[in-house]
Structure 1
Amino acid sequence: MEKETVRMEGFSDAIFAIAITLLVLDLHIPEKEQLADANALTAYLKAQWPSYLAFTVSFFSIFIMWVNHHKIFKQIYSRNTAITFINGLILFFASAVSYPTGLLARFFNTPSANVVVALYTGLFILINLSYLWLWYVAGKDKTLLRPGISSRAIKKITLNYLYGLPVYVVAFGLSFGYPAVALGLCVCLWVYWAISSGKLEKHAVESAI
């Protein structure tokens, strides 16, 4: 079967690349005249730690989104209108990550941390739901998937994405009282997905054996 999603994947790769690039705009370089001596510059750089944290967390979150997008489209060979628009929704949310990242950089070390972390985790609930929706639409019509993929493999891939939803919901709830814990929970989930992302490909290969 000829793959029909090549243009969609290329466009998506470009959007993910732009979304990651936008994150660096929240890292500001001070004016030389304001921080002329080493001690002042060192103090300034130390005070910017929320910006470094926000940039690092968001960079790897978008990177893992891209990895999973790549894995899922190794199984999707054809597209329909629903897949096209759901993919657009995923790209919309990926592009939006820079906004809560900016808020996180500016307000994480303030009493408003719970609000910005709630916005951040809330966005990733929507992202997770979008991935689940994309895979649900593709999986219910096997003619859209790679030839030979089994129902068992489809189910395992679905479960791999389902793990994230309750974690994000818990993180969202925790963000109102324990924002640092909520953010740490999201990071743990991304580490899990980074380690287990090979499962998508592995299950698909096993299904063809």
Structure 2
Amino acid sequence: MSTEPFMETSRLEAFYDAIIAIIVTVLVLELPQPAAPTLAAIWALRTSYFAYLISFLVCANLWQYHHIIYNHVEKINTRIIWLNILLMLIFSLIPYLTTFVANNPNSFIPQALYGLDFIIVDIILYIMAKSLLKINEENKDNIIDAFSIRDALYIPLAIFILGFIIAILGYPIAISICCLITILRSIVSSLRA
């Protein structure tokens, strides 16, 4: 029998909520102002708005996914806390990478780093899901339903890989488009549930 101390999830959830709120705030503060109060000046910033939209939806989706998971989890341990800290470390790069992509929409490196951030977040979520299942055995069935690992990890990973292949073939913006497709797919899937 394990003597590992378990903790409740409330403080972790509050921390997570605060970090997501900060990331969303930084995202909107990073949006450039139009050079003039005209529609043409606003249209000139369309790549910034597109990158912001994707990143905002990613934040909302990750927050929702985290909320759904922790609705079924009763206890966590130090490993889960550190996985969440690692998740937030990687995820907190979103505002920086959003600006990088917005300023260089047709460059492979910014797009690749943006997509790689998403992939690493998915991998951390997968590891966290497996760890949560181990320590919450009594609630395993509900947790497995909430995780939906195929929908949450495998399908997005396949879409990201497709985006990378298209980007390597000469269309770097394919990575951002694949990120958007993944997020919209996830939102539609959660609304059906």
Residue in 2 that maps onto 1:159: 150
> Does the Cα contact within 8 Å between 1:125 and 1:169 map onto a contact in 2?
no
Assess, with a 3 A threshold, how the Cα gap between structure 1 residues 155 and 106 changes in structure 2: closer, same or farther.
Answer: closer
Residue in 2 that maps onto 1:206: none
The alpha-carbon deviation at position 30 of structure 1 amounts to 5.0
Give the TM-score, by structure 1 length.
0.79
The alpha-carbon deviation at position 21 of structure 1 amounts to 0.8
Q: Which runs of 5+ in 1 are unaligned?
A: 203-209
Q: Does 1:26 align with 2:30?
A: yes
Q: Secondary structure at the match of 1:179?
A: coil
Q: Percent identity?
A: 28
Q: Does 1:101 align with 2:95?
A: no
Query: Any residues of structure 2 matched to 1:83-162 within 5 Å, and which?
Result: 83-108=80-105, 112-143=106-137, 147-150=138-141, 153=144, 157-162=148-153
Give the TM-score, by structure 2 length.
0.85
Query: Any residues of structure 2 matched to 1:1-209 within 5 Å, and which?
Result: 4-29=8-33, 35=36, 41-108=38-105, 112-143=106-137, 147-150=138-141, 153=144, 157-162=148-153, 163-176=155-168, 177-197=170-190
Q: Secondary structure at the match of 2:13?
A: helix
Kindly name which structure, 1 or 2, has the bigger radius of gyration based on alpha carbons: 1
> Does the Cα contact within 8 Å between 1:139 and 1:154 map onto a contact in 2?
no
Assess, with a 3 A threshold, how the Cα gap between structure 1 residues 137 and 156 changes in structure 2: closer, same or farther.
Answer: closer
Q: CA RMSD in A?
A: 2.5
Distance 1:170 1:10 in 2: 35
Distance 2:83 2:129 in 1: 10
Assess, with a 3 A threshold, how the Cα gap between structure 1 residues 160 and 63 changes in structure 2: closer, same or farther.
Answer: same
Moved over 4 A (4+): none
Q: Write the deviation string for residues 93-139 of structure 1: whole angstroms up to 9, x where unpaired.
A: 2211011101111111xxx5222111110110101101111101111
> Does the Cα contact within 8 Å between 2:159 and 2:178 map onto a contact in 1?
yes
Q: Secondary structure at the match of 2:8?
A: coil
> Does the Cα contact within 8 Å between 2:72 and 2:143 map onto a contact in 1?
no
AA aligned opposite 1:28: P
The alpha-carbon deviation at position 194 of structure 1 amounts to 0.8
How many residue pairs are counted as aligned between the two chains?
A: 186
Distance 1:46 1:151 in 2: 46
Residue in 2 that maps onto 1:207: none
